[in-house]
Amino acid sequence: MNAAVKMSRIGLCFLAGMLVGFQAGPAFGQKWNLSSRIQAGLEQDNNIFESSRHETESMNGRLLVQMRARKSRKKMLLSADYAGALQIDPVFNSDSKFLNTLNGRAHWRFHEKMILIVNVRGKLKWFLDAPLDFASTWSRFGIQLQLRRGLRCTIGETTSQLDYVHSNYFDQKTRLSTFGISQEFSRSLSGSAEISYGRIAFTRAAYRSAAESALIRNRFEQRDKFLQSKFWLSLGRKNILRLGAEYQKNNSNSFGQGYARWSLSLIGARSLTRQWLLRCALSKQFKDYDEAGQIILQNELDAERTENNFAVFDISYSMSDKLAWLMRLALYENESGLRGRFYEKRQLFLGFELRF
């Protein structure tokens, strides 16, 4: 059993035990605030294999089950949520998959102006008939400082690991240090900025360029260093608009893996009437490689982990507090597993959501 799978299972048991223990613990007094939802429907996908040359269209069934738990007291906030997403394609078994995501968060105010923050996340993705199964873990430990009213800064350390079951070519471990600052200007306007410096260690060998576009394998493994900065501006309370910008410079000892990337994003939500809700998410990426020309495998195998050019529109109609009808249109133009080659995808989802 690989390390990421072990870590994910340990994390699952830990969070489950945390929920049960704190639910029964008299020291915390009040019970957990629990909520859950079930989302189901049909989705039409015009390019199920994310191919840049030959598109294959299919209809699949989707089911999402999400459970959330939250508990707070004077100096402590605990939260955990689990999401299980199932996709069944009756025609192409290799497109059928099951994604499990587990998140946990703890905030402890150990000083009047200081908060200890611990975030953990684990993912397990299984395919019915494709050798693409993987597990990933992510954790962040940090301290948030209250500088003055509305102004906060956060210092943290983040580690993550990606482990594919059937191959170690794309396996990687990441460690980065982060400094962030946020400012709440008013009840409906806030902004934040974050800068990170990190290292990525791969289990595969690094490559160097040779004559006639050939690549020669080195005796040492690939190692990357990257600098990343993010900026966000959030407006509104009832109707929400969030604007973001991101820059990343990646330096690698393996030919073709160094690049500079910029991206712009927008997230919005607006209540059209009391029952109608419109949401959208837009993102556009600009990417320049240090070495151009050759077709080289990317650092990621699963194209869904690196979606950076998309437009998603979601509209829902609430029949009641517990039932809503959903329609979602998603358009993608993302880089495939081969560097510099892009695929287009269109997805249309129709379904319903039950809330508990």
DSSP 20: H
- The whole-number pLDDT of residue 4 equals 42
- The whole-number pLDDT of residue 28 equals 40
Query: What tens digit of pLDDT does each residue of 95-119 get?
Result: 999 999 999 999 999 998 999 999 9
- The whole-number pLDDT of residue 47 equals 94
- The whole-number pLDDT of residue 212 equals 65
Which range is least confidently modeled, 24-28, 33-37, 199-203?
A: 24-28
In the predicted model, is pLDDT for residue 26 greater than 50? no
Query: What tens digit of pLDDT does each residue of 275-326 get?
Result: 999 999 999 999 998 887 666 777 787 877 777 899 999 999 999 999 999 9
Query: What tens digit of pLDDT does each residue of 235-275 get?
Result: 998 899 999 999 999 999 999 899 999 999 999 999 999 89
Q: What is the largest CA-CA distance in the chain?
A: 71
DSSP string, 249-274: EEEESSTT--EEEEEEEEEEEEESSS
Q: Around Cβ 27, how many Cβ atoms within 10 Å? A: 6
Residue recorded with tokens 């035990």? 17
Quote the domain boundaries for residue 130.
3-355
Q: How many distinct structural domains can be found in the chain? A: 1
- The whole-number pLDDT of residue 293 equals 66
Q: What kind and span of H or E run contains 310?
A: strand 310-318
Query: What tens digit of pLDDT does each residue of 162-221 get?
Result: 999 998 999 999 999 999 999 999 989 999 999 999 999 999 999 988 766 678 899 999
Range 119-147 average pLDDT: 94
Query: What tens digit of pLDDT does each residue of 201-212 get?
Result: 999 999 988 766
Domain at 222, CATH number: 2.40.160
Residues paired with residue 35 on neighbouring β-strands, in sequence order: 68
Residue 343 and residue 303 in contact, taking contact as beta carbons nearer than 8 Å:
yes
Question: Residue 177 and residue 197: Cα distance in Å, rounded?
Answer: 6
